[in-house]
Amino acid sequence: MRNPEGLFKVIDARRDELIELARALIRFPTINPPGEAYQPCAEFIGRRLSERGFTVEYVRASGTPGDSERYPRINVIARREGAGPGPCVHFNGHIDVVQTGAGWTVDPFAAVLKDGRLYGRGACDMKGGLAAAIIAAEALIDSDDALPGALEISGTVDEESGGYGGVHYLAERGWFSQPRVDHVIIPEPLNVDRVCIGHRGVWWAEIETRGRMAHGSMPFLGDCAVRHMHAFVDRLERDLYPKLAARRTDMPVVPSGARHSTMNINSIHGGQAETRGYPAPCVPDSCRMVIDRRLLIEENMEAVKGEVRALLDQLVREREGFDYELRDIFEVQPTMADRNGPVARSTAAAIRRVMGRPAEFVCSPGTYDQKHIDRIGKLRDCIAYGPGILDLAHQPDEYVLIEDMLTSAKVMALAAESLLNGTA
């Protein structure tokens, strides 16, 4: 690593530019769903980067969920070749944000600057990180014209709804695979001194218990699907939850409560719908539950499903009239990059150099776009690193610290430099 002071100076001098870039990104109300303002936001990023020598391409994920003429799923990918052959470092940021929700004390899309903080929906997750990555790449290019390899920056959509119109779509078409790309940094808000090497897996499923309808005054003539579901929930409480809590992972998941297997019951719907406030006087013939099971890297997806199915099958044998259906909704395998791999190692070294303290390696309790880069792109050298306090994501009055954006821009620039020069 050459002396990085010159590089840091270039980034410090662009502090105001960094703030204005993040503010400009926040002002696009890219709410997902439905996928508002994707096109102008992508074009804003594309215009900026093409003025700085990047080759810019727009990829519309036609036919993916939510894509329409009114809400086109537009992604932007910019690439700049260096002075000679070498690897490609790619910064990937999602431009979509979640709903604003209630409880804001500032306009969520006004990009209010106050006390060293930049407020807005997406400030933390993750337009602050995307702005920092863009400034990092530009500063690196401007401070070293002998830089080999290539730099890529992408602004992708739909991360908050699974990434199907964004990184998933692009990964299926080779945008996140070698030889095009070698190392990926996703500036998600994992805290400025942490390198996130992976995430737990997910299994979402719907379970339906069935009964038989009858008049509510004569329930003995029917069979109540809600009572069958209750019997299942009771099994979960007694048999499954203690097991999940006892299972620990070696993944450094934060917060540490998520270092176990977990399962949320997202919803239960049973019985006939109420009509204008009048409950139906019937025995429910159906009850549906959606579960959200989070898997550890040590767990196996089929075994996780089998564990739930075994409890249901046990009830079929033991409980009269018990009948069920289990439907998969969504699943993602857990993933974890090598903490000694080039991108994790160089980012950790850069954190130490910029912040003067060792980096912490973490994993995320939930998933993000790394899953598509790993599983579809077959690119293992991918991490999440960026400014922003993880807990603030999706909250009212979400903000990012200006200092954190600046720090992370230095870390990303330095990490990219050592990856490109092969000194990582």
Residues identified as active-site: 96, 159
For residue 61, CA distances in Å to 99, 134, 157, 198, 371 come to 22, 23, 9, 25, 18
Residue 125 interacts with Zn ion (CB under 5 A): yes or no: yes
Q: Report the nearest approach of Zn ion to the CB of residue 86 (Å).
A: 29
Q: Considering only the stretches 184-192, 298-306, 311-319, 416-424, report the one whose residues sit in contact with Zn ion under the rule CB under 5 A.
A: 184-192
Q: What secondary structure does DSSP assign to 244-303, as a single string?
A: HHH-B-SS-BSSGGGSB-EEEEEEEEESPPPBTTBPP-B--SEEEEEEEEEE-TTS-HHH
Contact string 334-353 vs Zn ion (x = CB under 5 A): --------------------
Q: Report the nearest approach of Zn ion to the CB of residue 368 (Å).
A: 6
Residue 95 interacts with Zn ion (CB under 5 A): yes or no: no
Residue with tokens 């006087």: 281
Nearer to Zn ion, 123 or 150 (CB): 123
Q: Report the nearest approach of Zn ion to the CB of residue 137 (Å).
A: 19
Q: What secondary structure does DSSP assign to 101-153, as a single string?
A: -S--SS-TTS--EETTEEESTTIIIIIHHHHHHHHHHHHHHHH-TT--SEEEE
Residue 398 interacts with Zn ion (CB under 5 A): yes or no: no
Beta carbons of 83 and 148 less than 8 angstroms apart: yes
Q: Report the nearest approach of Zn ion to the CB of residue 163 (Å).
A: 10
Beta carbons of 260 and 247 less than 8 angstroms apart: yes
Nearer to Zn ion, 126 or 348 (CB): 126
Compute CA 308 distance to the chain's CA centroid, rounded to the nearest angstrom: 26
Structure tokens at 73: 């799923």
Residue 202 interacts with Zn ion (CB under 5 A): yes or no: no
Residue 158 interacts with Zn ion (CB under 5 A): yes or no: no
DSSP H/E element including 241? helix 241-246
Residue 98 interacts with Zn ion (CB under 5 A): yes or no: no
Residue 369 interacts with Zn ion (CB under 5 A): yes or no: no
Nearer to Zn ion, 188 or 381 (CB): 188
Q: Report the nearest approach of Zn ion to the CB of residue 188 (Å).
A: 5
Q: How many residues bind Zn ion (CB under 5 A)?
A: 3
Nearer to Zn ion, 126 or 295 (CB): 126
**Cα dihedral: 46, 49, 51, 54 (round 10):** -110
Q: Considering only the stretches 187-195, 234-242, 279-287, 340-348, report the one whose residues sit in contact with Zn ion under the rule CB under 5 A.
A: 187-195
Q: Considering only the stretches 10-18, 141-149, 181-189, 330-338, report the one whose residues sit in contact with Zn ion under the rule CB under 5 A.
A: 181-189
Nearer to Zn ion, 80 or 168 (CB): 168
For residue 424, CA distances in Å to 1, 5, 383 come to 8, 18, 15
Burial class for 274, CB neighbours closer than 10 Å (0-12, 13-18, 19+): exposed
Q: Are strands 150-156 and 88-94 parallel, antiparallel or unpaired?
A: parallel
Q: Considering only the stretches 125-133, 164-172, 211-219, 405-413, report the one whose residues sit in contact with Zn ion under the rule CB under 5 A.
A: 125-133
Q: Report the nearest approach of Zn ion to the CB of residue 97 (Å).
A: 8
Q: How many residues does the chain have?
A: 424
Nearer to Zn ion, 163 or 222 (CB): 163
Structure tokens at 102: 């209630």
Residue 31 interacts with Zn ion (CB under 5 A): yes or no: no
Angle at 30 between CA 26 and CA 33, to 5 degrees: 145
Nearer to Zn ion, 97 or 150 (CB): 97
Contact string 308-327 vs Zn ion (x = CB under 5 A): --------------------
Give Cβ neighbours of residue 242 (< 8 Å, ≥ 6 apart). Answer: none
Q: Considering only the stretches 123-131, 191-199, 371-379, 397-405, report the one whose residues sit in contact with Zn ion under the rule CB under 5 A.
A: 123-131
Residue 126 interacts with Zn ion (CB under 5 A): yes or no: yes
Beta carbons of 154 and 75 less than 8 angstroms apart: yes
Q: Which residues bind Zn ion (CB under 5 A)?
A: 125-126, 188
